[in-house]
Structure 1
Amino acid sequence: MESTLVRRDQFNITPQGIVHKPTDAAFTPYPGDPFSGIERSGQLANQHPNGSGFRAEDVRRMMRELWAEYVTSNPQLFNL
């Protein structure tokens, strides 16, 4: 399977969580703890008909990194 590049601009980040737009994979934090929550796989397990797709571990790694950056840059949103 050919791996599709995961890019920062593929993510939508709000105080309510982060979503990888192409796959709908997401992380939604629990109230009061921005680093614990629910992870949704979305379409990560589905392979595109042409054989290409996103590697789940790449999407999850980028999601964790971007979410940590967002929380650190916006502590007032999370009562840190």
Structure 2
Amino acid sequence: MGRKIPTVEEFEVEGDEVIHKPTNATWTAYPGQPEPHLYRQSMLGSVLPNGDDYREHEVTEIALRLLRARLDQ
């Protein structure tokens, strides 16, 4: 398939964790903190088995925005 542009719909926010579902990359923050203390890359940065290829910086930008936004809810 080639290069994919990430969308917010591809992410799941669970408590203090944001997961990019296609790559399983995960950003985890301490409760009440906007920045992650733990990052698990998983398949981000690699071409996925179905051929999709995500740019790491584009996925990370959305993930960090979602991680900060969870504090506003």
Pick the TM interval, shorter chain.
Answer: 0.7 to 0.9
The one-letter amino acid of 1:68's match is: R
Residue aligning to 2:66:
66
- Work out the CA distance in 2 between the residues paired with 1:6 and 1:46: 14
Say if 1:50 and 1:11 are closer, same or farther in 2 by CA, change over 3 A.
closer
Q: How many residues align?
A: 72
TM-score normalised per structure 1: 0.74
Larger radius of gyration: 1
Structure with the bigger RCO (C-alpha within 8 Å, sep 6+) is 2
Match of 1:78 in 2: none
Counterpart residue identity of residue 54, structure 1: Y
Are 1:6 and 2:6 counterparts? Answer: yes
Shift of the alpha carbon at 1:20? 0.2
Which runs of structure 1 show a deviation greater than 6 angstroms over 4 or more consecutive aligned residues?
Answer: none
**5+ unaligned residues in a row in structure 1: which ranges?**
75-80
What is the one-letter code of the residue matched to 1:13? V
* % same residue: 26
